[in-house]
């Protein structure tokens, strides 16, 4: 089995970000997903137990400080 990595994917709730997340999850990587919409991220976390942590935040908002501190990876 290839080496597994922890990967941060922004814009993971739709489009190319979602496609990249799904590809990496199928390759057994652990992901930290970031997007403004939490619902699609919750769905991925339920579909891939133990592989997904997510942060629902707008990274263009400078008031969001260190959202990655609440991740378990």
pLDDT along the chain (73 residues), means of 10: 80 96 96 94 96 89 67 63
Domain annotation covers residue 51:
yes
Domain annotation covers residue 73:
no
Total tally of structural domains belonging to the chain: 1
pTM attached to this predicted model: 0.81
Q: Please tell me the number of Cα atoms within 13 Å of 54 on its side-chain side.
A: 25
Residue 7's φ and ψ, nearest 5 degrees, are: -125, 135
Domain annotation covers residue 1:
no
Count of beta carbons in the 10 Å neighbourhood of residue 55: 20
- Per-residue pLDDT, 47: 96
Domain annotation covers residue 70:
no
- Domain at 45, CATH number: 3.40.50.720
Closest CA to 58 of 2, 3, 10, 4: 10
CA distance 47 to 68: 22
Range of the domain at 10: 6-60
Please check whether residue 44 is in contact with residue 12, taking contact to mean a CB–CB distance below 8 angstroms: yes
């Amino acid at each position: 089995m290839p080496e597994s990595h922890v990967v941060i994917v922004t814009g993971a709730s739709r489009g190319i970000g979602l496609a990249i997340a799904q590809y990496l999850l199928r390759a057994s990587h652990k992901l930290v997903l970031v997007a403004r919409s939490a619902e699609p991220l919750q769905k991925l976390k339920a579909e891939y137990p133990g592989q997904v942590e997510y942060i629902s935040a707008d990274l263009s908002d400078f008031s969001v400080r260190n959202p990655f501190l609440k991740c378990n990876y």
